[in-house]
Each structure stands twice: as C-alpha cells, then as structure tokens.
Amino acid sequence: MDKTKKPLKSALKKTVVSTTATKPNVKTAGVKRKHASAANNNNNNTTTTKNNPKSGHDNKRSKVQTNSNSNKQSTGNTSKAQNGAGKKKNVNTSAFNAKKSAPTPTPVKKPVIKKPKKEEVIPEGATLEDFRIIAGTYENILYGIDAYWNEDMTLRLSPIFIFAAHIGCIKALAIGGHFLASGSTDEKIQLYDLKRRKELGALLQHQGTITTLTFHNKTHMLSGSDDGKICVWRTKDWECLKIMKGHQGSIHSIAIHPTGKIALSVSADRSVRLWNLLLGKQASTTRLQGEGLKVVWSPSGTGYSIMFDQEVGIYDMATAKCVRTIKPPRKTRLNTMIYYKDDYLVVGYEDKMIRVYNTATGDLVKTLVGHASRVKALDLITVPYTPEETSNKEFVGRPETKMMDLLTSVSTDGTILVWNLEDVVSPASTPEESNMKTFIGEHKTDMRVTCLSVQKGIWKNVGVESVGTAGEEEEDEDQIEAAKESEEEEEEEKKDEDEDDSEDDE
C-alpha cells in the first residue's frame, strides 16, 4: 500500500493509545504491590521473626539471642529476609510451572476473503470525460461540469448535474478519490459518491459555517468552521476521530503537508498554528501581523505561503520565517491562491485579474485576463491530451501521450475558465503578451460561483453492465487492513503478557 496513506491513520491510532495508556496493567500492578508488601515486612521484621511459629530453628535462635539486644535485632532481620525470600520463590516457581505445563493457545488469524473482481463491460458510445469540474454557488447550487478534449486542443465543457445541495450558501468544496464534500452556512457537510452518483449523507459535528475542507489522499478529511474547531474524519465510515481545538476565531484555511504528518491552519485570531497529525495535537503557534485568509504548502513541502488581505508572504519551512513578500501592482484585495510546482504562485484578485508570480524572485510572470468580476477560486489538474479516445481500454498511459497542466478559475460573474499552464508560465516577449487573454475552455453558469474543485475523469454509467470494480478493490483493501490491525493488536497483547511473566519470574 502507498506509504502516504498511513500518517493520519497512525496519528489517530497513536492518539487513541495515548488516552488508554494511563490505565495500569493489572498483572504488573499486582507484582509491584507484592514487592512493596515484602519491603514493608523487612522494615518491621524483628518482632515477626521472634514470634514466627513456622520455623523452629528461628525460634530457638531467638531464645538464645534474648541475652543481647543488638544480636537479637541483626539476627531477626537476617532470618526474616531469608524466610520471606524463600516464601516468594516458592510461589513464583509454582506459578511458573503451572504456566509451563499449560499449553499456550495460538492466536487464530482471521482469513482475508477477497471477492472476485468484476470486469467492466463498456458498450460502444460510452465516453470518458477528461476531467470534471465541481463548483459551489451563493444560490446553494452544486454545479457539475464534464470536460472533453477537442481536436484543436481546446475543451468542450458540458453540465452533468445541477441541484440544490444545501439550504445556505456553499462556502467550501473538496474531492478525495471518488468522494465529494461540500460545506455551507447551514453548518452541514454534505457527502457524495461521484462514481455512483448518489448522496451519502451529512456530517453535523460543527456549530458554525463550514469554511474549509481538505482531503489527505482519499482516506481522511479535515474540516474547519467558524466555531474554531478542526475535525478529522475517516472516510471509510465517516467517523469523527479527533477534534483539534486551539484557535480563538473562525478558521479560514487548512493545508496538509505532502507527507501527511503535519498541517497548518490560519484563523481570524491572527495566528498560524502547526498541528502534529501523528499525535492529533497542536505543535506550535505563531502570531501574524494581519489576518491570514489562506495557507498553502508548496508541492515539495519545503515552504508555504500565507495570503493576507493585501499581500502574500512566502515562508521557509525550516525557519518558519517570511523570506519574500508579494504585493499587487495596484491596491486591491486578494481572494485566493495556489502553487504551480514550486516555482510559481497563482493568485486571484478582487480586480478580476489572475496574476502569476515567480516564487524565487517575486516577479510578475503573467496576468490572466478573462473574468468580468472578482476571482473566487482556483484549482489545478494534470490530464493526458487524448481527444480521439473513447474507451480507456485503448488508453493505458502511453509514453508518447502529451500530459497537460491546466488551471481552472471561477468568478462571481458565473464564468468558469480553463487555462493552459504551459502558455501561462512561458516568458512574454512583448508587454502585450504579459496580459494573457487566451483560455482553452469556458462555461457560463449564470450563478455567483464561490468555490471550486477539480478531479480526473470518471466513466459515465450509461449502458455499463457492471461497475464498481474500484469499490470492490477498496473493500478488499479494508479487509486486509483490518486483518493486519487485529494481528498487530494480538502481537502487542502477547508482548504485554511476556513482560508480565518476566516480572513475575524476577
């Protein structure tokens, strides 16, 4: 299994262990009490040795020693120590022999049952969208769009679903695997299965507007709200495994490190907090000069950026110090940002522009012109350019296939635009080229779009005889993982028993 899937699981597992580790081990506690009682007897063994009816030799010696108080005390201590040691040795030996004679039960391992995988039968005419765009709106509508390549390297955007997902404005969207999560001012997180195209239910842990959602792979999700809490969810059963508290204001943004071991969050309390996801606890807090509106990690994880109202600060992870500040050429509000590789930072502004900056120098690379209102959200995706493909049976990732890095942007004017990042980051030879107005895909929703998330293409289920192959694979992985966890627990219990036995022998 992929190593990057484990950090959050291990974080929550370790957190659970830490809460139960305070309970004393029954066997170990009993042994310690036995040693303590023997030590107390040694401190008062003069009287007990004198009146010991079990040892005739000791009683005889005590009569002889009545002529000397000093000899009586020293001999009494020696006799009692020997008697107590011998007594303890007999008890432990009999217990050891009983354990040796009894057969050691072998732990029964639960067999992992793997279901036969179904083959997906794809009829003629079924198509695979190259990628899918999901947008949330002020009008409570969840808007889904499928994107298809044209022969001229442009995109055809076609709506696939439009429905009212909440009773309040949708503020946050996130996709992990085939799961879609949307958060709203109605304090709910709605869940959907994009592969099966059905609603899974709602999460009601927060007491405030859901402001940010982010997935770690497809195994865990983090959510933030106006209530100042960060919840950690397990996608297998959607259980809230941890509630991390610390912020004193509304949480604006959460970013998980590429390793999955740590996360950053910014809030209205003018602080950025580092969270140790292996322990599920806060690691550090840094006060900011302004209110952080968004935080993002660089793809390599060596740095991060925090967006404020009028500027962006680029920070080094090792020192947690701001190494560079990016400001717009004219005063305007910043709304969103995203990294493209480690070299570029794409920022959306209130003045309808999208500006691309070089993170090493802070220089403006290009300005994207196309929206008629403020830019609200950005997202990146890398997909193959395969306009002729109608079946994934034919496309298996050929090395000669060109991979395209695309930027998707949305605005409150209701327009969704797709840009070719290869053209975006190419150097401009003239001042006119620095303002790029050429995009490869456009769709007008006639709604005020607030948030955005993009995922790779999924087969349309129209006419497909048997789907859900990936879901069955996930069930098999869950069974294998559950069996491994039970084996680890059995091994830990066996180690504890062995340690208790060794303490008893001592």
> pLDDT: is 410 or 26 the higher one?
410
Angle between helices 69-101 and 56-64 (to 10 degrees): 170
For residue 203, being part of any structural domain is answered with: yes
> pLDDT: is 78 or 502 the higher one?
502
Q: What percent of the chain is predicted at pLDDT more than 90?
A: 54
For residue 149, being part of any structural domain is answered with: yes
| Residue that is written with structure tokens 């071991």 in the block | 261
Structure-block tokens of residue 205: 């842990």
DSSP 376: E
Question: Is 66 a residue whose pLDDT tops 70?
Answer: no
> pLDDT: is 321 or 108 the higher one?
321
- Residue 130, pLDDT score: 87
249 class by beta-carbon count within 10 Å (0-12 exposed, 13-18 middle, 19+ buried):
middle
Mean pLDDT of 407-425: 95
- Residue 96, pLDDT score: 39
For residue 245, being part of any structural domain is answered with: yes
- Residue 196, pLDDT score: 84
Range of the domain at 446: 131-383+400-456
Question: Is 491 a residue whose pLDDT tops 90?
Answer: no
DSSP for 44-107 reads THHHHHHT-SS-HHHHHHHHHGGG-HHHHHHHHHHHHHHHHHHHHHHHHHHHHHHHHHSPPPPP
In contact, 295 and 255? CB cutoff 8 Å: yes
- Residue 175, pLDDT score: 95
The residues near 419 (Cβ < 8 Å, ≥ 6 apart) are: 368, 406, 407, 408, 409, 436, 439, 440
Mean pLDDT of 406-417: 96
Looking at every residue in the chain, the average pLDDT score rounds to 76
For residue 109, being part of any structural domain is answered with: no
**In this structure, what is the dihedral angle of CA atoms 7, 9, 10, 15, given to the nearest 10 degrees?**
120
- Residue 78, pLDDT score: 43
Instruction: Name which of 370-379, 421-430, 461-470 the model is least confident about.
Output: 461-470
- Residue 502, pLDDT score: 57
Mean pLDDT of 430-436: 87
Beta strands in 281-363 (DSSP E): 281-287, 294-297, 303-307, 312-316, 322-326, 334-340, 344-349, 354-358
Question: Is 289 a residue whose pLDDT tops 60?
Answer: yes
Mean pLDDT of 45-53: 40
Instruction: Name which of 270-279, 435-444, 472-481 the model is least confident about.
Output: 472-481
**In this structure, what is the dihedral angle of CA atoms 48, 49, 52, 54, given to the nearest 10 degrees?**
130
pLDDT band (50, 70, 90) for residue 330 = confident
The residues near 60 (Cβ < 8 Å, ≥ 6 apart) are: none
DSSP 256: E
> pLDDT: is 100 or 423 the higher one?
423
Question: Is 125 a residue whose pLDDT tops 90?
Answer: no
In contact, 337 and 345? CB cutoff 8 Å: yes
- Residue 109, pLDDT score: 58
Is the pTM higher than 0.75? The answer reads no
- Residue 30, pLDDT score: 38
- Residue 433, pLDDT score: 84
For residue 119, being part of any structural domain is answered with: no
Residues composing the chain: 506
Could you report how far apart the first and last alpha carbons of the chain are, in Å? 42
In contact, 463 and 407? CB cutoff 8 Å: no
The residues near 392 (Cβ < 8 Å, ≥ 6 apart) are: 122, 128, 459
pLDDT band (50, 70, 90) for residue 495 = low
- Residue 83, pLDDT score: 44
CATH code of residue 348:
2.130.10.10
DSSP for 117-186 reads PPPP---TT--B-SEEEEEEETTSEEEEEEEEE-TTS-EEEEEEEEEE--SS-EEEEEEETTEEEEEETT
Q: What's the number of domains the chain is made of? A: 1
For residue 95, being part of any structural domain is answered with: no
For residue 121, being part of any structural domain is answered with: no
In contact, 338 and 328? CB cutoff 8 Å: no
Question: Is 366 a residue whose pLDDT tops 80?
Answer: yes
Mean pLDDT of 407-418: 96
In contact, 421 and 340? CB cutoff 8 Å: yes
pLDDT band (50, 70, 90) for residue 505 = low
Closest of 246, 292, 244, 293 to residue 270, by C-alpha: 292
DSSP for 456-488 reads E--B--TT-SS--HHHHHHHHHHHHHHHHHHHH
For residue 279, being part of any structural domain is answered with: yes
**In this structure, what is the dihedral angle of CA atoms 215, 216, 220, 221, given to the nearest 10 degrees?**
-30
Closest of 309, 307, 308, 304 to residue 320, by C-alpha: 304
The residues near 109 (Cβ < 8 Å, ≥ 6 apart) are: 483, 486, 487
